[in-house]
């Protein structure tokens, strides 16, 4: 039987104090695939292109000119301005294959999302960015799984928070960049957080 190493999350949660939206992926890809030291670091992942299309009508808005790298400072400035927090639903995993696929992640430890919400007093919504993340979140809350692009109410103390389920930003997910961006646009409009620059 193969002995897989436990990987611990290499990033701290990104939690702007006034954040209204918490985005939860599953777990970062292997570091050899990173183009920057931040969330969704794989240059082939379309998350930051989705944000570029949404808010700037430019899929390469967060790309460093002439390089296969995202501009971390530009991203973090924008996310702080927009009120978007980031982390992942797993904080320790075993990678059963040396790739970024969720289906080959064995979760060793779930993220304490309740603790994250205590640290985000203005948070009014959580978005999970794939099936694995959705499944992991639902282990901590009694909430039905939303359809892709839709939301379900989630009770957290005296707060009611919307849980949105978005399509994966991985290029392995069979949906065009523009269609993925449309799902995110509807969510930001619903939350009153949408404005084009």
DSSP-assigned letter for residue 101: -
pLDDT at 20 over 80: yes
- Residue 25, phi then psi, degrees to nearest 5: -90, -160
- Per-residue pLDDT of 163-197, as tens digits, reads 999 998 988 777 899 999 999 999 999 999 998 65
**Rounded Cα distance, 10 and 191, in Å:** 30
* pLDDT tens column, 115-149: 999 999 999 999 999 888 899 899 889 899 999 99
Contact 75, 35 (CB under 8 A): no
The C-alpha atoms of residue 134 and residue 68 are separated, in whole angstroms, by 29
In the CATH scheme, what is the homologous superfamily, with its name and number, of domain 6-190?
Uracil-DNA glycosylase-like domain (3.40.470.10)
Alpha carbons 35 and 42: distance in angstroms, whole number: 6
Q: Where are the domains of the chain?
A: 6-190
Write down how long the chain is. Answer: 197
pLDDT, tens digit (0-9, with 9 covering 90-100), for 51-91: 999 999 999 999 999 899 999 999 999 999 999 999 999 99
pLDDT, position 172: 77
């Amino acid at each position: 039987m193969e002995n897989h190493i436990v990987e611990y999350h290499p990033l701290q949660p990104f939690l702007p104090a006034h954040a209204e939206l918490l985005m939860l992926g599953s777990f970062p890809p292997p570091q050899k695939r990173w183009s920057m030291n931040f969330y969704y670091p794989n240059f082939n992942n379309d998350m930051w292109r989705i944000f570029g299309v949404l808010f700037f009508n430019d899929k390469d808005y967060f790309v460093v000119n002439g390089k296969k790298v995202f501009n971390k400072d530009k991203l973090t400035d924008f996310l702080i301005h927009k009120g978007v927090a980031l982390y992942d639903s797993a904080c320790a995993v075993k990678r059963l294959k040396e790739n970024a696929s969720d289906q080959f992640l064995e979760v060793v430890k779930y993220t304490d999302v309740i603790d994250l919400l205590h640290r985000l007093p203005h948070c009014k919504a959580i978005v999970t960015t794939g099936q694995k993340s959705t499944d992991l979140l639902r282990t901590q809350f009694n909430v039905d799984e939303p359809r892709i692009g839709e939301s379900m109410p989630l009770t957290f103390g005296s707060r009611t928070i919307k849980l949105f389920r978005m399509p994966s930003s991985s290029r392995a997910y069979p949906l065009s960049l523009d269609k993925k961006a449309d799902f995110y646009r509807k969510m930001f409009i619903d939350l009153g957080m949408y404005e084009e620059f």
